[in-house]
Chains A and B, each alone.
Chain A
Amino acid sequence: MRVESYATLAEAARAMGPDAVFMAGGTLVMRDVNAGTSASRIVRSADPVLTEIRSTGDGVSIGAGVTMAQALANRDLAFLSSVARSVGGPQVRNMATIGGNIFAHHPYGDFAVALLALGARVVLAGQGAAKPLEDVLRERGRSSTSPIIAAIEVPRPRDPRAFAFAKISRIKPKGVSVMSIAAHLPREGGRIRGARIAFGAMGPTPLRATAAERVLEGQSLDAATIARAAQLACDGLDPPTDALASAWYRREVAGTHLKRLLEKMERG
């Protein structure tokens, strides 16, 4: 095995190939390295853009190498602090990056769920225009070489109360998630406009609950609407069975957890 370190992301991107894996915080890659099952080349980069956090007009651009602890310490990312705090224990938060979270398989990937609900866009190294996180998640694992993410552009919710996140786990304070849910429900004149609900561990990648979103769109957040959204929580989702929960169990409880999250948002 070889470890290659590059000063710039552009060089690192050029060095990628089917026999290489990019390593950020390494909390997942190093498990494979320790087990002797990793790719034969590990590509790293110390490019400072990876750890930059920049406020843009209506959002924040987060370098893909920003750790959960760095996100927690940044005022511009206060709207994501409950999400960053939900990942792992202190040591993991000091190492785990936001870019790496986008590639983490269930039961991991809690941060990516929040990014999906917020409509984040992803800037790939060496490519100009940002693309929707959905596209990156859809393509994840499909091709043998995945592109390197430079930064994630996150729109800041205009009303912080319009965004909520819940990680459902069996062990407190540090258990991994049975599922995670994020909801962004911006309101105009009391009506929801642009509802986005995302689930983690309810499919192969974080996914949107589009049926529940449609129910909420244009409505006010009241008990009847919440009940209908909860009923359709799993519509179109195909939850996995893993060591934490069966697909059946996830289907059973997803609606209830969505309902609780929406009720919390209703109470404000």
Chain B
Amino acid sequence: MAKKPVTFILNGSERAAFAEEGLNLLEFLRRGIGDLSPKYGCGQGTCGACTVIIDGETHLSCLTMAVAIEGRKVETASGLANGKVHPLQEAFMEHFAAQCGYCTPGMLMSAKVLLDRNPAPTRADVIEAISGNLCRCTGYEPIIDAILATANMRRLA
């Protein structure tokens, strides 16, 4: 496969690397860039562990071509903590919303976009927002609680 240069913004900083044509964004981020926060679960779009934010929307990085992010803004879970842990991360710890933790980076991405768009989500909104993210450990309730708690905290703050 031929390689192409890809220049994009990752968590606020400009990055550039070569990607084989046809390489997916998940592999590109993990192997090419060294951001290990998006996880490989299925490579088929079904698990959501690879969820990243592209230009403000959640996308599945395993189904996105790396060369397609040229010039775009990508956010991953590793960019959430900014000096100190992000309120969502804090709430996930507080509510035991991560057990094995494999789904967590993807969950955090879906939760972040939800709260960015809707600061006062209902429980149903949260369930809908994480409906593309599978968790095999928690049974979802602690995750839903953590996201709702973050929204409540932000409103009080």
Binding site for B on A (CB under 8 A): 1-3, 5, 23, 26-27, 30-31, 33-35, 38, 42, 44, 69, 88-92, 94-95, 173-174
Contact B63 A90 (CB under 8 A): no
- 12 additional A-B pairs beyond A26-B63, A34-B44, A90-B131, beta carbons within 8 Å, are A26-B65, A30-B45, A38-B22, A44-B68, A89-B131, A90-B113, A91-B45, A91-B60, A91-B110, A92-B45, A95-B59, A95-B60
What are the 9 A-B residue pairs with the smallest beta carbon separation, nearest first?
A: A89-B132, A30-B63, A3-B21, A174-B131, A94-B57, A1-B22, A89-B131, A91-B132, A91-B58
Contact A91 B59 (CB under 8 A): yes
Closest to B70 in A: A5
Contact with A along B120-136 (1 / 0, CB 8 A): 00000001110111000
Q: A88-B132, A89-B132, A90-B132 are in contact. Are A95 and B1 (CB under 8 A)?
A: no
Q: A90-B110, A174-B132 are in contact. Are A31 and B22 (CB under 8 A)?
A: no
- Quick check: is B43 within 8 A (CB to CB) of the other chain? yes
Binding site for A on B (CB under 8 A): 1-2, 4, 21-22, 24, 43-45, 48, 51, 57-60, 62-65, 67-68, 110, 113, 127-129, 131-133
Contact A34 B43 (CB under 8 A): yes
Contact B24 A30 (CB under 8 A): yes
Contact B63 A2 (CB under 8 A): no
Contact B64 A30 (CB under 8 A): yes
Residues in A neighbouring B57, C-beta threshold 8 A? 69, 94
Residues in A neighbouring B110, C-beta threshold 8 A? 90-91
Interface SS of chain B: helix, strand, loop or mixed?
Answer: mixed
Residues in A neighbouring B24, C-beta threshold 8 A? 30, 33-34
Closest to A95 in B: B59
Residues in A neighbouring B51, C-beta threshold 8 A? 91
Contact A3 B127 (CB under 8 A): no
B110 smallest CB distance to A (angstroms): 7
Q: A26-B65, A173-B127 are in contact. Are A31 and B45 (CB under 8 A)?
A: yes
Q: A3-B67, A34-B62 are in contact. Are A89 and B48 (CB under 8 A)?
A: yes
Partner of B65, one of A3, A31, A35, A91: A3
Residues in A neighbouring B65, C-beta threshold 8 A? 3, 23, 26, 30, 33, 42
Contact A90 B129 (CB under 8 A): yes
Residues in B neighbouring A23, C-beta threshold 8 A? 65
Closest to B67 in A: A3
Contact B131 A173 (CB under 8 A): yes
